Amino acid sequence: MTDTTDDIAEEISFQSFEDDCRLLGSLLNDVLHREVGPRFMDKVERIRILAQSACNMRTAGIKDTAELLEKQLASELSKMDLEEGLTLARACSHYLNLMGISETHHRVRKQRNLSHMSKSCDDIFNQLVQGGVSPDDLYNAVCKQEVEIVLTAHPTQINRRTLQYKHIRIAHLLDYNDRPDLGHEDREMLIEDLVREITSIWQTDELRRHKPTPVDEARAGLNIVEQSLWKAIPHYLRRVSNALKKNTGRPLPLTCTPIRFGSWMGGDRDGNPNVTANVTRDVSLLSRWMAIDLYIREVDSLRFELSMNHCNDTISRLAQEILEKESDTSSEDRHDTWSPVQRNQLKNHASCAPNLPMQLPARADLPSCTECQARESQYPRLDLPGTDYMPLNRQGGSGSPSKLPTNEILSNNSQTKAHTSSASLSSAQLLAKRKLFAENKIGRASFQKLLEPSQPLRPGIAPYRIVLGNVMEKLKKTQRRWELLLEGLPSEADPSEYYEFPDQLMEPLVLCYESLHSCGSGVLADGRLAALIRRVATFGMVLLKLDLRQESGRHAETLDAITRYLDMGTYSEWKEEKKIEFLIRELKGKRPLVPPSIEVGPDVKEVLDTFRVAAELGSDSFGAYVISMASHASDVLAVELLQKDSQLALGGELRRPCPGGTLRVVPLFETVKDLREAGSVIRKLLSIDWYREHIIKNHNGHQEVMVGYSDSGKDAGRFTAAWELYKAQEDVVAACKEYGIKVTLFHGRGGSIGRGGGPTYLAIQSQPPGSVMGTLRSTEQGEMVQAKFGLPQIAVRQLEIYTTAVLLATMRPPLPPREGKWRNLMEEISNVSCQMYRNTVYENPEFLTYFHEATPQAELGFLNIGSRPTRRKSTVGIGHLRAIPWIFAWTQTRFVLPAWLGVGAGLKSACEKGHSEDLRAMYQEWPFFQSTIDLIEMVLGKADISIAKHYDEVLVAESRQELGAQLRKELMETEKYVLVVSGHEKPLENNRSLRKLIESRLPYLNPIHMLQVEILRRLRCDNENHKLRDALLITINGIAAGMKNTG
C-alpha cells in the first residue's frame, strides 16, 4: 500500500477504480455462487457486512459499537469448520488481489490520460531549464547518468508465478474494456473472458508445494525482463530522448542509456547453501542465452520490415562482401555449424560418396519461363521474408520453384546418400550415421539451412535483409554456443562466427541505421531498428549482469585453510595490519597462492569454485562482488586476492589470459557498528597505494560502497538505522573525495519501510547532499519487482522516476541540516530510540517468546517462497533471524512493530525538552527528516491496534499479555508525537487517496486477520494437521495481498 507507488494520490481516479472493483467483485461473486453454492456465499456476505460496519463505526469514532461488532465477527468465524474457513480465506484473498489489479490498472489509465505527468522527464527537464540550468549542462548530466537497478530473489513475492500471469491477463482485459469503440457483443465476450480467468484463478492452488531453486528464481527475473522490461526500455528511452530534444535541442544519443539492470538471482550465496558455483555458472549462461533469444526474435521481425533496396555505399559493400563470402564457401562449409568432431565423422563416412555441387547452378533462382539469354526475368521473383523457401534445382540448368515437404526432401536425400555409399558403409555404420544426424539438434538446423536460397549477386537485392540475415546467423551460432556450454560440452566455434561483446552486434545495426537516415528513410530507422539498438545498449549480451555476494567470514575461512596448509598460521587470528601486509604482498606477486595439491573442506572448496567460475566466464558476465558483513579493509583485499589467484590459476591451465578483468569488489556495511566505521574502512583502503592504483587503473577511479537497510533496522530500529545510514554515506563520500576517487553508493533497500522501502522518488531525494552524483545502484526485491516492473506501462513510469530523481539529486542536491543543533537533536532522538528498541527486543527476556506466540513467524517457512533458509545460523534468537521474516511476521498482525518501535520514545524525549518547534522546522526544511517522518506515518496508517490486540488476547500466554499492552501503548504514543511533528490531525492526512485505498480493503482484510488468529489457535493444538496449515498459509497470502507488501 505504501511501497508500490510513488504518485498514487494523484494517479487514482476513484470513480473508475470503484467501477472496476465492482465489476471484478461481481464476477467473482458469480463464480463463487457456481463453485461453492449460494448458501455459503450468504455467509461470506454476512461476514463482509459485519466487517464493513465495524470499520465504519471506528471511522466515526464510535469505538464501543465497533468492538461489539468485531467480537461478533470473531465469534462467527470461530464457529466455522475448517472447510468453511479455508474457502472464506480463499474468497477474501482473491477479492483483495482483484482490487490490487484494479489499482494497478488505474495507475496505467491515469498515466495514459494525463497530458502532463509530474516527475516525468519532460516535467523535470523543463523545471531545471526554467530554474537556470543551461541546456548543455542538462544534456551532459542526462547522457552521463549511470543508474543500475538490481533485481534480487529476496523471498517476499507471495504469489505463485502462475497466478501472477493470470493477474496480468485480467489487467490486459480491463485495459481492453476501456476502449470507447467496444461494441455490445465485444463487451459481452470480454466479460466471458474475465469470468474464465477468474474461474481459472479460483480453481488454481494458491500455494507453492515445493521450494523454488535458485535457478527457478533466476528464471522469474528473466521473465520480468521478457514480459515487461524488454518492451518498456525503448519506450522509456524515447521519452527521455524526446524530452531532451524539447528542452535542449538535442536528442539522447542512440547508444546512450541512463539505466541498466543487474541481478542477484543465482549469485547471492550469503547464508544460502543452495547457491553453488555450478548454479551461478548455469544462471549466467542462461541469461546470455535468453538475451540472444530475444535478439533473434527482434532481428527476424526487422528483416521483414527492412525490405527496401535503396541504401548507402557502406551497406551495399557490406552486403556484397557477405554474398561473396558465401559464394566462395562450399555448400557444406557454408551451412555447417557442427563441431569439428562431428564434421570429421561425417567426412569419413562419406569419403566414397560423390561430392555435392559447390554452388547452385547459374540462374537456378529464376522462374523456369525466363529466357536463357535474358539478364532479368520479366516476371520478378517473389521474395517472401522470413520463410524457408528453396527453389529445387535441376541438373538441366533451370530450376522449378516448387517446395516439397521437409520430410519428403529428407527422405529423398537419405535414399540417394544410402545408394551412393553402400559400397563403403556397412548397414551398422549407416544406422549410426543416421542416428547421429537425427539426434543432433544443430545438425537438423544445419540441414534445414540447405533448403534456404542463396542470395544471387544481381541488382534488385534487399541489402538490409542480407546484412540482417548475416546478423541472424551469427546470433543463432552464438545461441548454440551457450547451449553447448550449458550442457557441459566444449564449444570450439571460430570467434569470428559468433557474438561475444555488445559492440560486435551493435556495429551492423548502427550501419543500417545510418544508411536509412542517409537515404531519407529516417522514419524507418527510428522505429523498430532504433528500439533494437537501444536494447543492445541497455541489456548487452548478458541481459542481467550477475552480482556475486558472500559473507566476509567465508573468505576468512578460505584463507585460514590456505595459510594453515602453507604452515603460515591461521589467517583469521592475525591482527588487521598483519592481514593487510600479507594480502598486499600476495597481490603484488605474480604466482598463484593456492597450491594445486591443496585439499580443503566443502565450504572452502565452494568459495574457491565460485572464484574459478567468475574467472572462467569473465567480468563481462558479472557485475560486482559484494561482501556482506564487511567491517575491515582486509575483507576487501581478501576478495581481491582470491579472484586474482583464480585468474592466474585458470589462465595457467588454459595457457591464455582469462576473459575480462577482475570484478569490482563492493563492501556491504549492514550493522550500526559497521556503518559507523564505513568511512574509516574506505579511508584505510584508499590509503594503500596498490589498492588506490588498482581502482584508478581497472575501475576508472570508481569505488562502489553498499549500505544495508534491513539488518541495520533489525539491529537498532528504523529511526536509528536511517540516521546512521545518512551519516555513513556522508562519511564515505568525504573519504573518497579526500583521495580524488569517485563513489557510487549501492542501496540495499527492501520492499517494506522497515527494510528501507518506500516511494523511489522520496527515497532518492532525501539522500545526503553529494551522495548521488549522477550514479546510483539500488536493489528491487521480491513483490516490488512485480509491482514496479510487472507491466510495461508501470515500468516506464518507474524508470522515468529513477532518472528524474537522480538528476535532481545531482543538479539540485537536497538541503543539509540548516543548523548544527539539528544534527545534535537527531543524535539525541536516535540514542533514546535505539535504547528503547534494544531494551525491548534484545534485553527483555520475555520478548522472544512473545514474538513467537503473537505472530505466525514459525509457520512462514512453509510458504516455500524462497530458496534460502529463514536464518543465517541455526539459533533461535532474533540476532540470526533474517530481516525479512522478522518484518513479515509483524506485518501479518498489523502491528508492524519494527518500523516504529523506539520512534515515539525519541520524539517524546525531544518534545519534553522543549524542541517541538525545532522538530517542526526540521520537518518543513530538511528533506531527510521529512522523508523519515512521512514513512513512519505511512506505517502508522497501516497499523491497527485492535487487530494486534486480538492476536495477543487469543494467542499469547496470560503472563506475557502485559508486554503486549505496553507495546500497544507505545504505538499510540508514537502516533501522537509523529503527528505533533508533521502537524497532521491523523495519519495519512496528506495522502487521503492512499488512506481511502486502505479503508476500501478492510472489509476483506480484517476477517482474514481474525480467521488467521483462529487457525493459529487450532494449529498450535494440532501441529501436524496439514489442512489447517494450508488454511493458515492462505490467510498469510491474503493479508500480504491486502497490505501490498510482505517483508
Count other C-beta atoms under 10 Å from residue 822's C-beta: 19
pLDDT at 14: 75
Instruction: Write out pLDDT tens, residues 257-285.
Output: 999 999 999 999 988 899 999 999 999 99
Q: Which residues contact 97 (CB under 8 A, 6 or more apart)?
A: 159, 163, 167, 201, 1041
pLDDT digits 0-9 by tens, 134-143: 999 999 999 9
Q: What is the model's pTM?
A: 0.83
Identify the active-site residue in 94, 714, 915, 942: 714
**Percentage of the chain lying above the pLDDT 70 cut:** 83
Residue type, 573: E
CA 713/CA 882 separation, integer angstroms: 11
Please give the grid coordinates belonging to residue 523: 522514419
Distance CA 761, CA 803 (A): 9
pLDDT, tens digit, 9 for 90 and up, residues 213-248: 889 889 988 999 999 999 999 999 999 999 999 999
Q: How far apart are the first and last CA of the chain?
A: 13
Which of 105, 119, 154, 942 is the catalytic position? 154
d(CA 978, CA 986): 10
The answer to whether 406 and 448 have CB atoms below 8 angstroms apart is: yes
Do 332 and 358 touch, CB atoms closer than 8 A? no
- Residue range 501-557, pLDDT digits in tens: 999 999 999 999 999 999 999 999 999 999 999 999 999 999 999 999 999 999 999
* The most confident of 409-423, 879-893, 949-963, by mean pLDDT: 949-963
Does the annotation count 694 as an active-site position?
no
Does residue 233 or residue 422 have the better pLDDT? 233
pLDDT-derived band at 866 (thresholds 50, 70, 90) equals: low
In 72-170, the DSSP E strands lie at: 146-152
pLDDT at 860: 80
To which residue does cell 524539447 refer?
246
Collect all residues with Cβ–Cβ distance below 8 Å to 397 and sequence separation of at least 6: 361, 362, 363, 364, 372
| CA–CA distance, 201 with 203 (Å, rounded to integer) | 5
- Compute how many other C-beta atoms are within 10 angstroms of the C-beta atom of residue 472: 17
245 is catalytic: no
Compute the distance between CA of residue 901 and CA of residue 899 in angstroms, rounded to an integer. 6
Q: How confident is the model at residue 958 (pLDDT cuts 50, 70, 90)?
A: very high
Q: What is the 3-state secondary structure (H, E, C) of 1031-1042?
A: HHHHHHHHHHHH
Paired residues of 779 in beta bridges: 150
State how far the alpha carbon of 49 is from the alpha carbons of 19, 52, 94, 1010, 1042, in Å. Answer: 19, 5, 17, 15, 18
Distance (Å, whole) CA 853 – CA 847: 10
673 touches 713 (CB < 8 A): no
pLDDT digits (tens, 9 = 90+) for 460-495: 578 999 999 999 999 999 999 999 999 888 877 788
Residues 343, 56: Cα–Cα separation, whole Å: 78
Per-residue confidence at 451, pLDDT binned at 50, 70, 90? low
pLDDT at 480: 94
Strand ranges for 104-158 from DSSP E: 146-152
pLDDT at 771: 93
Q: Which pLDDT score is estimated for 754?
A: 66
pLDDT at 608 over 90: yes
Return the SS3 of 815: coil
Helices (H) and strands (E) in the chain, counts: 44, 8
**Rounded CA gap, 1007 and 1004, in Å?**
6
How large is the angle between the packed helices 277-305 and 463-486, nearest 10 degrees?
160
Look up residue 782 and give its amino acid: G
Indicate the helix (H) or strand (E) that contains 259. strand 259-263
> Which tens digits make up the pLDDT trace of 96-110?
999 999 988 888 887
Cα–Cα distance, 498 to 142 (Å, whole number) = 33
What pLDDT digit, counting tens, does each position of 310-354 carry? 999 999 999 999 998 887 764 444 444 444 444 444 334 334 333
